[in-house]
A and B are shown apart, each in its own frame.
Chain A
Amino acid sequence: MVVFGRGAGAVLRLPPDACSIGLTGVPPANCRKFYQKPSIIMRRHLVAPLLGLLLATAAVPASANPFEHKLGNGLRVIVKEDRRAPTAVHFVWYRAGSMDETNGTTGVAHVLEHMMFKGTPSVGPGEFNKRVAAAGGRDNAFTSRDYTAYFQQVPKEKLEDMMALEADRMRHLTLAANEFEQEIKVVMEERRLRTDDQPQALMFEAMNAVAFKAHPYRVPIIGWMNDLENMTVQDARDWYERWYVPNNAYVVVVGDVDHKAVFRAAEKHYGGLKPRALPLRKPQDEPAQAGVRRVSVKAPAELPVLIMGYRAPVIRDVEKDLDPYALEMLGAVLSGHGAARFSKHLVREQRLAVSAGAEYDSSARGPGMFYLVGTPSDGKTVAEMEAGLRAEIARVQNDGVSAEELARAKAQLVAGEVYKLDSMFAQAMEIGQLEAVGLPYTSGDRIIEKLKAVTAEQVQAVARRYFVDDGLTIGVLDPQPLSSAPRRGFATRH
């Protein structure tokens, strides 16, 4: 399939037949063309897709590198020295994402992320970005279900300036009402752009709201529009006071730096910030499911899309767990490369699908889900698409996977570990994302070893264990002709 576009500079990448993702839970940028899983939303639309960089899997620590230091206020600082180029990336992660929100204020984690650029007593509104720009840096931030993170990429000698800026807004945000009134409008525009006008994102949002009944993963990261319309600056203040403390944060630095110097700078800038006890986090475990759940969404589009989400475990104990690793390898066998099963069987041989893919993320604070996604070819129905995906799962359940397929998936894993080192940003993301879900960053290499140890029998066993209708939610995008669609608009009170 060729997706057309115009322009220069970045060469259009050929879209894959199938998509798969690694431990970080972020699909390759080109996968988002047919399947928009909003696992992360950013403060600003990036013209060059940043998320393509995030396909890292897990870390391979070299001797003592990375290095770690914990400040007296509970803030942890993790530094990975990478001396290839005179630059550094600085991240601050907060363990507060949309899953920590409550009804009526959904989207507040992300709104606060926007407000973090709106000034402190010493750094006025918009001044943060100006200072990063003046330093020759680039910065942005993103909110996920599990965490909120802020980063700057800078020439190495500017790193300490960035630490000073982040430390200031960790505890001293102004949160002015007039700034909030403008920024909430921006966030509503973001929701229109990313969700309301994106049929697949709308369907995915509806599907999650059905798949999860008790767990806050049912809520979209960007929040429901009505909650955004009724959000107040006090909601943002409450969120900030609750979660933005050094004992709920950690700093990750990767670059051409000396870890001891970074630790000294961290003591100087972050060390004086006061910790505070965090609210109790309740598990909000999802009750047992019994029976298939189905949801369909109508939206202006041409092609239908089917998503089948099966409840699945995620890594809680790196050493003891087995199933999440086997599920990762199953995902790779189904859609990890151009000749993986979905692409070969469903797209090429049977011509049942325009595209088909599998997505599973073994790292998350909340419950896991293994997604199968397909768009039927012209003349094929959604029911045929579902039957085709089910037949592929049945093949694994009945006949297993071959040693050759498993070896192929592992070869890609090993190469990916080396390629990842070409990006400081990807290395920092990996450290941060492991920590965000409660796994130590040092477990990265063990995770790779565990993935490499997965056997064909284990893959077959997890296919039998988790691909059952009692854990299944099915979402369908029901395409509507443009001409018949009502004009949609969302009245706001601003």
Chain B
Amino acid sequence: MNMNTIKRFLALVLLLATPLTHAAVKIEHWVSPSGARVYFVETRTLPIIDVQVDFAAGAARDPVDRAGLAQLTRGLMDLGAGDMDESAIAERLADLGARLGGGADTDRASVSLRTLADADKRAAAFEIMRQVIAEPRFPGEVFERERARTLAALREALTRPETIASRAFWSGLYGTHPYGSQPTAESLSAISVDDLRSFHATHYVARAAAVTIVGALSRREAEALAQQLTAALPAGEKLPATAEVSLPKFAEVHLPHPAAQAHIHLGLPALKRGDPDFYALIVGNYTLGGGGFVSRLMKEVRDKRGFAYSVYSYFAPMQVAGPFQIGLQTKRAQAGDALKVTREVLQQFLAEGPSEAELAAAKANIVGSFPLRLDSNRKILDNVATIGFFSMPLDYLDTYAEKVRQVTAADVRAAFARHVRPENLVTVVVAGD
């Protein structure tokens, strides 16, 4: 598309375009002949197509002595696939103006692509994506180099107080559960190219794939695209479910570090996808520490006492119980005082829940800000891919506001009592005096 075309096009888009998301996002869903689940939102206001393919290939799938395998596997897929070496992939994408992304978190590994919708550009971009997903080469010398770079990055990260705190927090919450496993120099050194090949063959399979497509194409084109991306994958075996989490005992971990600020985390494993308490916890957490500048933690820790620049709490729903976490950083000499105030705020909230005024304010913001969550193709993609990967109800976005409205203060108290028990709370303090 040349600049003049773009300008003409923009004139149309910006002045005449029909609204994208006034009411709801219409998600079309089907299963591709390959076995992959497909989620599609057609939107033609911009000449862009976004595609994301998610697999149950996150770090929770690492073998016990190979922590880091899932993320190395995903990282290497972009660096040589099909008939392309790493430079060819990057150069072809750059020539097309296409952007390949993704990564691996704890549950999920993703390959994502943003491309212009022009027929010549998108076809070439889709073919690169197909090869990255289905035909990664895992060249030995690229693997050796990337592992060396990863080791260097790990060594650097292990000097950082925020990394030390985060690793201790996840270890404290999950222990020997797969969510608690962390890459080390030893585990990375134990990984071989064959491990990557085998991990890819087992986990990047069609029946475990969720394909999300958002943008300027028809249902028929989306069907063909989803099949193109997944047809060459093995159908695959159903992967074993991630083990349920057993709760930790109350613990307080103090680790030394020369930093000027202490990094403090409190939390426990708390919430899995699909839990009916989800709405009560989200609404309640807004008042506790999720509502930015208006939360109780922000008022007590930052506004009243000037203890911290950043203080927050959140629930991260995952395949099995993901963490509830409170975090802050404060001058090391006042770490004890800041922790004390934080605990008091939490205890009071657990005992009393939100006031009616706080509950109303939380709902007003969560419901009122809902359009902001869906006002771009990128945001729609992120939401729909999450719905697809976790097999959430297709009307999740349509019913979200109503379910938030129905939450009562009693629901919040009861849900917090079930999910945030003080006897299971793990506290980590790095660099506190």
Interface residues of A (CB under 8 A from B): 1-15, 44-45, 47, 60, 62-63, 65, 80-87, 117, 125-126, 129-130, 133-138, 153-155, 158, 181-190, 192-193, 196-197, 256, 300-303, 336-340, 343-344, 347-348, 351, 354-355, 375, 377-378, 407-408, 411-412, 414-419, 421-424, 445, 448-449, 452, 479, 482, 485-490, 494
What's the Cα separation between A423 and B330 when bound, in Å?
34
| Inter-chain pairs besides A1-B152, A84-B17, A133-B365, 4 sampled, C-beta below 8 Å | A11-B104, A189-B307, A411-B95, A411-B96
Q: How far is the CB of B108 from chain A (nearest CB, A)?
A: 7
The 10 closest A-B pairs by CB, nearest first: A136-B368, A415-B97, A185-B306, A339-B90, A338-B90, A85-B375, A45-B310, A129-B293, A62-B10, A1-B149
Whether the Cβ atoms of B306 and A186 lie closer than 8 Å is yes
Could you say which residues of chain A place their CB within 8 Å of the CB of B329?
A: 189, 192-193
Size category, B interface: 35 or more
**A197 with B261: in contact, given A134-B361, A411-B94 (CB under 8 Å)?**
yes
- Residues on A with C-beta less than 8 A from B149 are 1, 347, 354-355, 377
Give the nearest-CB partner of A125 in chain B.
B303
Q: Does B367 contact A (CB under 8 A)?
A: yes
A8 touches which of B87, B102, B105 (Cβ 8 Å): B105
List residues of chain B with CB within 8 A of the CB of A449. Answer: 3
Q: Which residues of the other chain, B, contact A138 by a CB distance below 8 angstroms?
A: 292, 369, 372
Query: How distant is the Cα of A240 from the Cα of B333 in the complex, in angstroms?
Result: 33
Beta-carbon contact of B108 and A11 below 8 Å: yes
Task: From known contacts A129-B293, A135-B368, A482-B257, infer whether A7 and B106 are also in contact, taking CB-CB under 8 Å.
Answer: yes
- A415 is contacted by which of B98, B291, B365, B371 (Cβ under 8 Å)? B98
A7 to B291, CA, bound (A): 20
Contacts of A339 in B (CB 8 A): 86-87, 89-91, 94
A1, A45, A134, A184: which contacts B150 (Cβ < 8 A)? A1
- Residue of A85, A153, A416 near B19 (CB, 8 A) is A85
Within B385-419, the residues touching A (CB, 8 Å) are 386
| B309 / chain A contacts, CB cutoff of 8 Å | 44-45, 186-187, 189-190, 193
The answer on a CB contact under 8 Å between A6 and B106 is yes
* Interface residues in B144-170 (C-beta closer than 8 Å to A): 145-146, 148-159, 161, 166-167, 170
User: What are the residues of chain A within 8 A of B260 when measuring CB–CB?
Assistant: 192, 196-197, 488-490
- For B107, what are the chain A residues with a Cβ–Cβ distance below 8 Å? 8
Q: How far is the CB of A195 from chain B (nearest CB, A)?
A: 9
Of B219-227, B235-243, B277-285, B314-322, the one with at least 4 CB within 8 A of chain A? B314-322
Is residue B42 within 8 Å, beta carbon to beta carbon, of the partner chain?
no
Nearest-neighbour CB distance to chain B for A276, whole angstroms, equals 30
A419 touches B114 (CB 8 A): yes
Q: Known contacts A418-B1, A418-B48, A486-B258: does B17 contact A6 (CB below 8 Å)? A: no
In the complex the two chains form, what is the Cα distance from A182 to B182 in whole Å? 39
CB distance from B423 to the nearest CB of A (A): 23
Q: When chains A and B are docked, how far (Å) is the Cα of A26 from the Cα of B157?
A: 23
- B15 near A65 (CB under 8 angstroms)? yes
Does chain A have a CB within 8 A of B30?
Answer: no
A192, B18: Cα distance in complex, Å: 48
Query: Quick one: CB contact mask for B50-78 with A, threshold 8 Å, 1 for yes?
Result: 00000000010000000010011011001
Among A126, A138, A408, residue most surrounded by chain B Cβ atoms (within 10 Å)? A408
For B6, give its contact among A47, A60, A192 (CB under 8 Å): A60
Give the complex CA separation of A314 and B327 in angstroms. Answer: 41
B101 at the A interface (CB under 8 A): yes
| Residue numbers in A under 8 Å from B75 (CB-CB) | 1-2, 14
